[in-house]
Every structure is written in structure tokens, then in C-alpha cells.
Structure 1
Amino acid sequence: MPRSVSPDGTYTLTLQAIGEPDWPFGSARGRLVLEKDKKKISQEDFELKNDGGPVNSSCWKITWYEEYAEIILSGEEQPDKQIRLFFDSTKEIMDME
């Protein structure tokens, strides 16, 4: 499972694949889990349209900010999706076009 740790070492973000992509070229499902001290703050389930490819470290980019982690999910058959998981457990999700 791909994982990213905040620069100060306080927070951990994990990318999890859920099952296998739909055959033959369907969507893959995944989950983002944000934790502090091994306690879950929030999670976000998503669907990735990536030409039948699996959810893995090549489909995400993480940037850590003072109050949240920003994740950009990329798939070949969809616009990039921006997900902000805030450390207070709130979320912002939007498609980037």
C-alpha cells in the first residue's frame, strides 16, 4: 500500500486498492485513509477510470499543507480529481478540468 507521511511526521496518508479493476477495461476502486498517531481521522472512497489499470502509487500525487493533505488522483479516462483531507476530518472534493 502506498503511504505518505507529513513533513513533521504527525500524519499518515495511505492509498488502498479495493478489489481488482472491472474486467476488461473498467474502473478500479480505492480508498484514501488519513491517520494521526495510528487513529483514523477520515477516509474517502473513490473510483478511478484508468483504462483497466489498478489503483497504485502512479495514480496519486500528495502535497502536505499546514491544515490538510491535498491528493490529486489521475486516470487516463477522467479529469484529475482533487481531494483535500483536512486534519479536522472535513473534506473538499472536486474535478479539475
Structure 2
Amino acid sequence: MEAIAIPKSIDDPIHILLWSADEIVPFMVCMLTGMLIDHFIPALAIGVIVVKCYRRFRDNRPDGYTLHAVYWLGLLPSKAITIPNPFIRRFYP
């Protein structure tokens, strides 16, 4: 098992049990889906595998890559005026 760095400052990500906050989301989605379809144990195993794959994906890319990818795909819900529509690829002066 790999050693987990304990956050030492405010800017460090939040850790819940063994995973950071962004790693717990795919696990919880798999767990809740397994509860709904009555296959809890296989869903937990799939959740652990998904978290390992996500961690490998995240560690090989710069910080904030996933958030930018979600925005680029148009999946980031926002009503803010300062965030332009992600489907507009060219801006004219």
C-alpha cells in the first residue's frame, strides 16, 4: 500500500479516509449504483479499479486538467457571466 501524504497547509486537497475529495466521487458513484442495482460487492470492486485508473490519469497531467476538460466538453454547469460558452471555439474582436 502506498503512503498517503497528510495535508499540512490550507491549499492541500481534502482527504477522506484513503482518497482525496476528487477520488472519492467515482467510488461513491459506483457504490451508489451498486446499491441501486443490488450488486454492491462487484460495484465496490469496480469503484476501487476506477479510482486507481483515475489516480493514474490525474497524476500524469497538470493540476486542474480534469476541470478544464469537463468545461471543454460543456459539462460544467455555470450561469456566470465571466465564463464563456464552451462551444464557441473562436472569438472575434
Name the TM-score class by shorter chain.
under 0.3
Higher relative contact order (CA 8 A, sep 6+): 1
Query: If each structure's helix is expressed as a fraction of its own residues, which one has the higher value?
Result: 2
Larger Rg: 2
TM-score, length of structure 1 as denominator length = 0.23
TM-score, length of structure 2 as denominator length = 0.24
